[in-house]
Amino acid sequence: MMIIDNLKLLAEFRHLVDNAFIQILVVVVLFDILTGMVKGLKGKQGNSTKGLLGLIKHLLVVILIITAYPYFSLLGLQPYANAFVLFYIASYAISITENLGQMGVPIPSFVKERIEK
């Protein structure tokens, strides 16, 4: 059994602020929220319940990553932590692209083909 030193864990949590992957994730999540809201308002499909559930989902993803990432780092699993974050960055990037497409922003056909549901 491995015992985790609380001071090292606290240091890992503090390093999250400087982590480029975490910074990119937060920006992408915020941009996804923004594009989702604009899409709903532009399409006159504003739904407060759907919006609230979306915000809760985004919040839970960020909390999960911010909680798990330092533990991955302490256990020497930094590449897996980065892959975990990159997966969510890619998922949110796809969501942003879909939102932009539904708002009428021109999306190249090769991109549309790869992200169609």
Residue 31 lies in a domain: yes
Q: Which of 21, 109, 95 is nearest to 58 (CA)?
A: 95
Residue 109 lies in a domain: yes
> How many domains in the chain?
1
Write out the chain's pLDDT in tens, 117 residues. 778 888 999 999 999 999 999 999 999 999 999 998 888 888 777 677 777 898 999 999 999 999 999 999 999 999 999 999 999 999 999 999 999 988 888 888 888 888 775
Residue 87 lies in a domain: yes
pTM: 0.85
Q: Which of 86, 94, 96, 88 is nearest to 31 (CA)?
A: 96
CA 58/CA 52 separation, integer angstroms: 10
Q: Show the tokens assigned to 30.
A: 């915020």
Which residues span the domain enclosing 94?
6-115
Q: Show the tokens assigned to 117.
A: 């549901």
CA 42/CA 45 separation, integer angstroms: 8
Residue 85 lies in a domain: yes
Residue 104 lies in a domain: yes
CA 77/CA 103 separation, integer angstroms: 39
Q: Report which residue type is found at 24.
A: I
Question: What stretch of H or E contains 38?
Answer: helix 20-42
Residue 106 lies in a domain: yes
Residue 59 lies in a domain: yes
Residue 62 lies in a domain: yes
